[in-house]
A and B are shown apart, each in its own frame.
Chain A
């Protein structure tokens, strides 16, 4: 029973990996970028749990900077994905321009709130 569960999990993981290998390279780059942002956010949460929430505004802006970046990157990924029919009329240049504009606004707010 336990053995077969382990094999199932392995099989599932293997199929996911082979399916993901087919993903275009530019989407993989975006995924890497999202993973980086989420990882940074997790580090900050762990740090806050250790030292306390004293400069709370700084903590919030640090966390929101990471999550905001991750969210915007995911939005970009949805828009530049060729398989996504919803955005087939939207040129990737336009999607990237939106991404840049949103990031500028995000970082402006973060810098103001960082204290």
Chain B
């Protein structure tokens, strides 16, 4: 009898170890739900899924209209990421709907959306919520008569070979993507009011979006560089979303296909799709570009302990450690653009922190000659990295009465004058009273 509570305690203490989820300690979640229109996608896109599962993700394939699917149970999310490879689904099965997916993102989970020609309104609406507006014509495709892929050409120039990639090592990895990326599908434009979404693969200026089977009678709605082929969004809670207008760009056929851009003689053995999509999925699932800041410290120069209050004109040192998640461990983050503010309604001090290349960022500065309640603030927003927003409150007091300098040599004449006035008063009193 006495042993059973002990076992219970032991079991409860094991629970945190059994749970995998996005947490500050390990930002890379492991459980991913993949919703497909048709289970054939599982085999036609198998190279992409293999690259995910080889990196340790547990993929759970479900039909999008499966009545038993659910994102959460008893208020706990069952998955850390969601992949929507179901462009034509009109209604999800089970408890999943548009609001459930947006709540999933709002709670910090990642999402990959692949739309395609004939995408349903549901998928379009989810993308619209993320700041990407797909071409309203359901039959429209992205067409480019200049930058089409020669090998895949069927006369309508809808398979595009694009190399207009975003120049960001954190999103696309440090090794350059040499071969163009093949794309066949629908284009989207980005909502200018949404500052969080940005293009990763954009179209060339010669691109337009129209139905390739009908004659183009009026100017197309989406043209040129306004068209985005693949976009990503990082929400304010650091949830990451990938929006692609093409499901076929994930397919084995495009992964293996050679690529030659029209009007270019270079022929690549293999398209850039695999490298591009693998690298960007690393970013989406937080294997790269996820920062954490720990050990915020500040103290007076020459002291170790953090004071409860600073005095004006104190010299202080501020340090913070910033690490980047590498997919398996926290590595020191090295940059030269992290800044700290000493802030009271506006920054009084703005200093760039110097890095020691081991993750520790530090600087020292003089407290301004203003007293009040200040904050140490680090607001770090960099393309592709999670946002760091630290603030620590600290009051600043004026000099105490006995902290002012006294008996200043330069002031001796003034002291002398004041005392001579007192002596003069004393002597004058005698003379004034006793002279008759």
Q: Which residues of A contact B (CB under 8 A)?
A: 25-26, 29-30, 33, 36-37, 40-41, 43-44, 47, 51-52, 54-55, 58-59, 61-63, 65-66, 69, 73, 96, 100, 103, 107, 110-111, 114-115
How far in angstroms is the closest Cβ of chain A from B413? Answer: 5
Cα(A91)–Cα(B417), bound, Å: 31
Is B424's CB under 8 angstroms from A69's CB?
Answer: yes
Is B421's CB under 8 angstroms from A107's CB?
Answer: yes
Is A62's CB under 8 angstroms from B429's CB?
Answer: no
How far in angstroms is the closest Cβ of chain A from B64? Answer: 78
Contact of B418 among A55, A62, A96 (CB under 8 A): A62
Name the residue on B nearest A36 (C-beta): B424
How far in angstroms is the closest Cβ of chain B from A112? Answer: 10
Name the residue on A nearest B428 (C-beta): A33
Is B411's CB under 8 angstroms from A69's CB?
Answer: no
Is B414's CB under 8 angstroms from A114's CB?
Answer: yes
Contact of B411 among A41, A43, A55 (CB under 8 A): A55
Is B432's CB under 8 angstroms from A29's CB?
Answer: yes
Q: Is B420 an interface residue (CB 8 A)?
A: yes
Known A59-B411, A107-B422, A115-B404; judge A66-B417 contact (CB<8 A): yes
Known A103-B425, A107-B422; judge A58-B435 contact (CB<8 A): no
Is B424's CB under 8 angstroms from A33's CB?
Answer: yes
Cα(A51)–Cα(B433), bound, Å: 39
Is B431's CB under 8 angstroms from A65's CB?
Answer: no
Tally chain B residues at the interface, Cβ within 8 Å.
22
Which 9 A-B residue pairings sit nearest by Cβ, starting from the closest?
A62-B414, A58-B411, A55-B411, A58-B414, A62-B417, A65-B418, A65-B421, A33-B428, A69-B421
Is B421's CB under 8 angstroms from A44's CB?
Answer: no
How far in angstroms is the closest Cβ of chain B from A71? Answer: 12
Is B417's CB under 8 angstroms from A44's CB?
Answer: yes
Cα(A63)–Cα(B431), bound, Å: 24
Name the residue on A nearest B417 (C-beta): A62
Is B435's CB under 8 angstroms from A44's CB?
Answer: no
Is B410's CB under 8 angstroms from A40's CB?
Answer: no
Is A100's CB under 8 angstroms from B417's CB?
Answer: no
Is A59's CB under 8 angstroms from B414's CB?
Answer: yes
Name the residue on A nearest B426 (C-beta): A103
Interface residues of B in 328-374 (CB under 8 A from A): none
Is B435's CB under 8 angstroms from A40's CB?
Answer: no
Name the residue on A nearest B433 (C-beta): A96
Cα(A69)–Cα(B435), bound, Å: 20
Is B421's CB under 8 angstroms from A61's CB?
Answer: no
Q: Is B408 an interface residue (CB 8 A)?
A: yes
Name the residue on A nearest B418 (C-beta): A65
Is B421's CB under 8 angstroms from A29's CB?
Answer: no
Cα(A108)–Cα(B312), bound, Å: 29
Q: Is B406 an interface residue (CB 8 A)?
A: yes
**Could you pull out 6 A-B pairs where Cβ atoms are within 8 angstroms?**
A26-B435, A43-B417, A51-B410, A55-B411, A62-B418, A96-B432
